[in-house]
Structure 1
C-alpha cells in the first residue's frame, strides 16, 4: 500500500507516520509538509511545499496512492471563524479535491475530533467547521472516505513532537483509559485503524474512538 501523510511535524501526524513505517504492508510513505519532518526511513520520501492553497507545482507527484492520512490541523483557540474555516475547511478541501481527481482508487482518512457537529448548526464554532469539512469530504469521488473523530490521543513513546503537557499527563493516562474508554485511545491505535480501513474498509464513514480501538485490535 502506498500512503500519503500530512501534518507530520505535529504530534498526530508523526504518530501516524511512525505506525505506517512500522507496518510491513505499507510499502511507500510520502510526507507532504510545509517544513521538513526530520524523519529518515527507507520507505519515506518527502515533499516540502509552503503553500497548501496552491498545489499545482507538486500536483504531478501526488498520484498513484492508495490512501491519504490527513493529519494537518490547527487549534481554534483565539481564532475567528473565518480564519479557522480557511485553515481547516478551505485548506483540507483544496488538497482533497486534487487527490480525488488524480487518485480515484484512494481511501481518504481525515483526523477530525470527538464532538464534531454534522448538522453544521450547533453553537460550537470549531465543531460546525469540522462538521462541514467532514460532510464535503464525504461527497468527493474517493474510493472511500473516513472521518476519524479522535478524543484524547496518548502519544507514541519516543516521538519527537509530543507536547510537554502530554508528558506530564502520562502518569494519569491508565486512569483515563479505564474511566473514559470511549474517549481515549493512543496514536498507535489511530495509525493502525487508518491502515486497517484503507485495506479492508469499514461499515460506516464516521469513526468514533471506540471504533478506532476496535479497528486497531482487529
Structure 2
C-alpha cells in the first residue's frame, strides 16, 4: 500500500513515519517535503515540493497509486495559510490527478486538535478566534467526501497534549493527553483500515492506538502466497 505523508520531520509526523516503516503492508511512503529527508529507508520516496500551494505535474506524477494521505503539516502555532490553504491545495491536486476515482477509497487523515471548535456561534473564553478558525478547516476537510465523491474518505484526528511517553501525572491528566506512539498508530490505522468514525477525539485515539499497537501486523507476502 502506498501512503502520502506530509510533515514527516515534525514531532508527530516523524512518529507516523516510523510507524509506517514498521508495517509490512506499507510498501511505499511518499513523503512530501521541501528538502531530502535525513531518515533513510527503502520504503521512503521523498517527493520534493517547491510550493505547497501549487503542485507541479512532475511532483504529482510521483504520487500515482497512493491510497491514503496522512496530513501532519504545520503546528498549533501555524497560521491559516498552512492549516487551510496548503491543506486544500493538496486535496484539490490529489483529486485532479484522479486519487479516489480508481475503484478504491482514498483516505485523507487530517491532524487537528482537541480544543478546536467548529461551532462558529459558540462563546469561548480562551483563544476563540484561533480555535474557530481551525474549526472551519475541519468543516472543509469533512466536506471533501461530498465535494469529490464517495471515493474520498476524510478523517480528522483531535489529539490533546501529545507526550513522548506515558507521563508521571497520567492519572490526573486522564484523557487530556496521548503518547505520540499511540497517536501515530491510530492515525496510520485510520489511513490503512478506515472506520465508521471519521472524527477521532483524544479518547478515541488512545483506544484505537493501543489496539493497533497490540495487533499482530499483517504479512503481505503470506497473503500473496
Same fold (TM over 0.5): yes
CA distance in 1, matches of 2:69, 2:92: 12
Which stretch of the first structure deviates more once superposed, 30-39 or 173-182?
173-182
Q: Does structure 2 conserve the Cα–Cα contact (< 8 Å) formed by 1:69 and 1:110?
A: yes
Which stretch of the first structure deviates more once superposed, 116-125 or 57-66?
116-125
Is 1:154 aligned to 2:163, yes or no? yes
1:98 alignment counterpart: 93
Q: Normalising by structure 2, report the TM-score.
A: 0.80
CA distance in 2, matches of 1:66, 1:176: 39
Q: Does structure 2 conserve the Cα–Cα contact (< 8 Å) formed by 1:3 and 1:26?
A: yes
CA distance in 2, matches of 1:121, 1:103: 35
Per-residue deviation, residues 57-89 of structure 1 (Å, max 9, x unmatched) = 412222211110100013437xxxxxx222211
Per-residue deviation, residues 143-191 of structure 1 (Å, max 9, x unmatched) = 3111100111123xxxxxxxxxxxxxx7xx5234222231111221122
Look up the SS of the partner of 2:167 in the other structure: helix
For structure 1, which runs of at least 5 residues remain unmatched after alignment?
78-83, 156-169
| Greater C-alpha radius of gyration | 2
1:3-42 matches, within 5 Å, as: 3-42=3-42
Is 1:180 aligned to 2:173, yes or no? yes
Q: Does structure 2 conserve the Cα–Cα contact (< 8 Å) formed by 1:185 and 1:212?
A: yes
| Number of matched pairs | 196
CA distance in 1, matches of 2:196, 2:169: 28
CA distance in 1, matches of 2:168, 2:15: 22
1:81 alignment counterpart: none
For structure 2, which runs of at least 5 residues remain unmatched after alignment?
212-225
Q: Does structure 2 conserve the Cα–Cα contact (< 8 Å) formed by 1:63 and 1:99?
A: no
CA distance in 1, matches of 2:118, 2:197: 14
CA distance in 2, matches of 1:99, 1:177: 40
Q: Normalising by structure 1, report the TM-score.
A: 0.82
What is the Cα-based RMSD across aligned positions, in Å? 1.9
Q: Does structure 1 conserve the Cα–Cα contact (< 8 Å) formed by 2:70 and 2:191?
A: no
